[in-house]
Structure 1
Amino acid sequence: MSKEIYRNTVEFAVRGRYALFSDILTRAGGEKSSYPIPTYEALKGILHSIYWKPTIVWIIDSVRIMNPIRTARKGIRPIKYGGGNDLAYYTYLEDVYYQVRAHFEWNMNRPELEKDRNEHKHHNIAKRMIERGGRRDIFLGTRECQGYVEPCRFGEITGAYDNCGSIPYGLMYHGITYADEAVSNDDKDMLTVRLWNPVLENGVIEFIRPEECTLKRHIRKMPIKPFGELYDNFTGLDEFVGGDIGELD
């Protein structure tokens, strides 16, 4: 069943020669191997590079896998902690192309930014930033994998897995819940890692919301950094923006 389409939904395509959505089980040995599909956290990071404000929280609804899943192995010489270089093999995804659908919600853990809750403003800025390819560089899981974004209509163009049926991928990393985006009471003031069991249905993965992940682990306590004090440090800021801090881009 398709998810609800929110009025502040954004849709975009992201492409790249390579991607590396690291499987956390492969990192212990010093080598990295990519998951076959993008993680929730990686797609959220792409949206943060397109447009982000502490006032909003991006929710990834769906991703559509457009190209066949292929891998490429490369020899890498990463820097060792003790100095010098090591030799490792990284397994990347090759020639990736995804369509992404997402929407934003207000970050209720930041009441000091209540004046900035202008849905029309943030939605239009986000759409403009997608048209321009993002505010910052786009990376597909890791910095050496450059990505490129452009507007699209989710579901347009034939994808490689449109008629593949159901493909489960087992237990995978979903993302990290930081204290300032926590929704569940048990995640408040905590840094939390989430896991889930994704299923590819005819080329589309419908993500569950972060607070719906039942497989999670609290890493440590984490305070929320306030943003209100930042505004107080600027004398006359209200006059500069016409008395409404929320209109700053």
Structure 2
Amino acid sequence: MPDNDLDAFLAGARVDADVLALRPDYRVLLVAVDGIAPGESDPESEALLRRAEASAREALAGRRPEDLAEVASWREAYRAFGAKPQRTRHSLEALLRRADAGLPRVNRLTDTYNAISVLHRIPLGGEDLDRYSGPPHLARATGDEPFETMAGGESAVEHPEPGEVVWRDDAGVTCRRWNWRQTRRTALTDGTTRALFILDTLDPVTTDAVGAAADELVEHLGRLGDLTVARRLVGGA
């Protein structure tokens, strides 16, 4: 895919004003990547995950994940739209809670972005760009949008709560509750070659800090192929 196609895709991304009204400090760095060579977990992704696990243990040092400022700010954001963070933990908190026992090993693409999320303490989602229908859009749900998931081991369609903050495209919800659960429809697979990465930030994470996270993500992804990369920062203050 030519560079300008990735740029054009990201140019259509938007964050609704009623989401920013909840958290004026919200920013998202979107990173679109083409040219990924799929592969199983390997020694390099294993080393990165081990570094992330060690970083989490050092950051927590006997504290609870919610005691970290980066985690607490997302808990506050969840409460702002009516979610209960004790029941639906955002993706960063969920990973931090698993780090001591061991982060999941999935494939080298997923391993890489999970490790960067923990290392930089930023919720980070990965999606298959070829499965998108239109650009990414962060909105407050009406409650009618379809969300494709699994229930009882079978495919199912659910709907978000009215007012819930969701990522979506033209076909429906791609991630519920800001960064809680991704849909099966746009999930990364072992065959993904084009991906969208969503780096969500709230204070105290700075624009420079999220940029550094994206830099490290792209650096590690660079060993997975001859990449084309585009970025766009969207959000408030």
Same fold (TM over 0.5): no
Flag the structure with larger Rg. 1
TM-score range, shorter chain: under 0.3
Structure with higher RCO (Cα < 8 A, 6+ apart): 2
TM-score (norm 1): 0.21
TM-score (norm 2): 0.21
Structure with the larger strand share: 1
Structure with the larger helix share: 2
